Amino acid sequence: MNTFKTPEFRRRAFFAGLGALSTAALVTACGGTTASTGAGSTTPVDGGNITFLIQGYDTGWVSSKTSISSYEGNLWGQITDKLVYVNEKGVLSPWVAESWEELNGAKDFVIHLKKGVTFSDGTPLDAAAVVANLNAWAKGDSTRGVSKVGLFPSSNFVSAEASDAETVKVSFSSPALGFIATLAYHGCILLSPKTLALPVEAQADLSQEIGSGPFVVKSWKQGDTYVLEKRKDYNWGPAALGHTGPARLDTITYKVIKDTSVRTSTVVSGQADVAFNVEPQEIESLKAQGFTVGTPRYLGFVDGFQVNTQAFPTNDPAVRKAIQHGIDREEIRNTVYTSDWNAATTFIQGNVPEAGEFSDSFEFDAEKANKLLEDAGWTKGSDEYRTKDGKTLEFTLTPNPYVPSTKAEDELIAQQLKKVGIKINLKVVDVAGYAAVQASKPPLFQTSRSFVDVGTVAGVLTSQNKGEDWFGLGTSDQKLNDLSTAIATASDRASREKVADELQQYVLEQGYFIPLNQLVQRLYLISPKIKDVQYNGLAYANFYTAWISQ
C-alpha cells in the first residue's frame, strides 16, 4: 500500500528534487547582477539613469486641485520651474524671475523674467504665460473643479498684468510681503498656458502637463512607473544650484513600491538608487553602510500642539504651562526619531529666518510642571492622577494621520505626562476622522504645516480677517490681535522680524502652543554613487545637478 517506499517512487523523488534544484540554480544565474562600487571621482560626469523608489502617486496630477502631495511634488520638481528659488535657509533667489521690485509698501510688485525660457511644447514662458499661471494660482476655476493654490495670498490679490513680454506687474489691495516667497512654494509651478486651459480630466493626464523644467515626461503608467528624460536645451536653472545648461542625468525613473522595507532593501542591495521615506530608526545603520540619508528641513511650523484655551482642562494657564514643561522632547527624539531631528526652539522651524530662540519657556522640567499644577490646586489622588473640584486632569490626544510617526510620539507623551499626574487618552483616527476631531476643537490639536513666509503665521492665530483661530481665543486677546495685525501688514522685513520675535515669545509664554520637535517630513535614502543631490526650502530633492560617480 505504501507507494512512498517503492523504489520507483524514490527514483522519481530524486529526479523531481534534482529538477527543483536546477531550476533554482538557473533562476539564480539569470538574474544575477553585480554591483560595482568604484572609488568615485569628484568631477561631475554627464549621462546615466537612476531609479527613484517612491511610496505612491495617489492623488493625481491636477496640480492646483491636489495642492501637490509629497509624492507629486518630487516629480513636479524635476519637470517644472518656479519663478523664485528658496533654499533651506529660506533665502530667496532668482530662477525664471531674474529680478523683482517691491513697490508701494509691498502692495505692488514688478517681476522681470529671464529671456528665452520655453515650455517643452515650444510655447515661450513669457509675461503672458506668467499672468495665466498667477491667475490660476490666485483664483482657480471652480466651474472646472480646479481650486486655487492654498498658500497663495488670494484674498487681497487684485490683478496680474503683462507690461511687456518680459515684465509682469502684480497688485494687491493691502501689503503682501509674503508674495515673492510664495512664488517659491511647491504649489506655484509654472505650466504651459495650454495645460492651464485644459479641462480637469485632461489635466489629470501627466503627459499633457507641460512645464519648462530640466526633465520631461517620457512615459508613465499611473501608480506604477514614471520615466523622465533630460531636456537638452534647458539652460535656465536657478543660479543658486551652481550649475548651468542641461541636467547631467539622462533619465530618472520613478517606481512605486509601497512597502517601506522593500524600498529600503532595494536600494541597499543596489537594485535602485534613491528611496523616499525610509524608517527613521534605520538611518544610523544605513549611514554606517555608506549610504547617504537626506533629511532636509522644510520651512513652516514645528510639529506641536495648538492649544484650545477654551476647553477643559487647557483653559487653565497652569495646565498649559505644565504640559509644556512636562514633555521630554529629548526622549522623543531618541526614541521615536533620531539625532537628525532638531529640537524645537520656538513654534516655527529653525530654518525660517525669523525663528527665535525661546527654548527656555518650554524646556523639560518635571519638577516645575508638578509645582505649577500643585500651586494651581490640582492634587494627586491615589491613582497618581491629579484632580481639582472633583474633576480629573485628563484629555484626549489624536495623532496627526498626515504624519505617521506622531502615533508613537503621542504614546510616549502620554507616558511622560502621566508622571506629572496628567491622564492622556489616545484616539487614533484616519484622515476623515481627523477633520472631525479638528472640528470638535479638542484641548490639544497636533499640527505641522509648511509655509514659505512668516507673514502667513498671522492668518492662523486669531479669528481676525477670517483667521483660523488656532487657540480658540477669537479676538479676545488684544495683545495677540495687535501682534498678528502687525506681522500681517508689515511692509518692511526689519520691523516684521522684531514683531515676529515678540509674537513668538508671547504665544509660548501664554502656553498657547506646545512645540515638540522640528519635523523632517521627507527622507531620502541615496546610493553612495549618486552625487550632488540638492534640496530646496521645502525639503524636495532636486536632481538637476545630480550625477553618477563611476
**CA distances (Å), 478 to each of 158, 455, 468, 470, 500, in order?**
30, 19, 16, 15, 16
CB of 451 to another protein, least distance (A): 9
Q: Is 7 in the site for another protein (CB under 8 A)?
A: no
Distance CA 533, CA 308 (A): 41
**Binder to another protein among 142, 289, 339, 382 (CB under 8 A)?**
142
CB of 539 to another protein, least distance (A): 13
Nearest to another protein of 132, 275 (CB atom): 275
Nearest to another protein of 236, 512 (CB atom): 512
Could you tell me the three cell numbers for 319?
A: 495646565
Q: Is 53 in the site for another protein (CB under 8 A)?
A: yes
Q: Is 38 in the site for another protein (CB under 8 A)?
A: no
**Binder to another protein among 1, 39, 288, 494 (CB under 8 A)?**
1
**Binder to another protein among 135, 227, 387, 402 (CB under 8 A)?**
402
Residues 199-218 that bind another protein (CB under 8 A): 200-201, 203-205
CB of 50 to another protein, least distance (A): 11
Q: Is 261 in the site for another protein (CB under 8 A)?
A: yes
Could you tell me the three cell numbers for 431?
A: 484622515
Residues 350-379 that bind another protein (CB under 8 A): none
Residues 413-452 that bind another protein (CB under 8 A): 430-433, 435-436, 438, 447, 449-450
Distance CA 489, CA 285 (A): 48
Q: Is 268 in the site for another protein (CB under 8 A)?
A: yes
Backbone conformation region of residue 147, classed left if phi is above 0, alpha if psi is from -120 to 50, else beta:
beta
CB of 101 to another protein, least distance (A): 27
Contact 264, 275 (CB under 8 A): yes
Nearest to another protein of 396, 438 (CB atom): 438
Distance CA 378, CA 165 (A): 68
**Angle CA 518–522–528, to nearest 5:** 115
Q: Which helix (H) or strand (E) holds 326?
A: helix 317-326
C-alpha Rg value of the chain to the nearest Å = 27
CB of 321 to another protein, least distance (A): 25
Distance CA 145, CA 410 (A): 37
Q: Is 151 in the site for another protein (CB under 8 A)?
A: yes
**CA distances (Å), 444 to each of 385, 452, 470, in order?**
19, 25, 10
Q: Is 173 in the site for another protein (CB under 8 A)?
A: no
Burial environment of residue 93 by CB neighbours within 10 A (0 to 12, 13 to 18, 19 or more)? middle
**Binder to another protein among 77, 94, 140, 356 (CB under 8 A)?**
140
**CA distances (Å), 140 to each of 13, 146, 273, 328, in order?**
70, 5, 37, 44
Q: Which stretch binds another protein (CB under 8 A): 59-67, 75-83, 85-93, 313-321?
A: 59-67
CB of 463 to another protein, least distance (A): 13
What is the secondary structure of 15-49 as a DSSP string? HHHHHHHHHHHHHHHHH----------SS-----E
Neighbours of 495 (CB within 10 A): 12
Nearest to another protein of 203, 536 (CB atom): 203
Could you tell me the three cell numbers for 426?
A: 489616545
What would the x/- binding string for another protein be over residues 81 to 110, using CB under 8 A? ------------------------------
Q: Is 386 in the site for another protein (CB under 8 A)?
A: no
Residues that bind another protein (CB under 8 A): 1-5, 27-28, 30-33, 51, 53, 56, 58-62, 65-67, 140, 142-145, 147-148, 150-151, 200-201, 203-205, 221-224, 253, 255-259, 261-262, 265-266, 268-269, 271-272, 402, 430-433, 435-436, 438, 447, 449-450, 459, 466
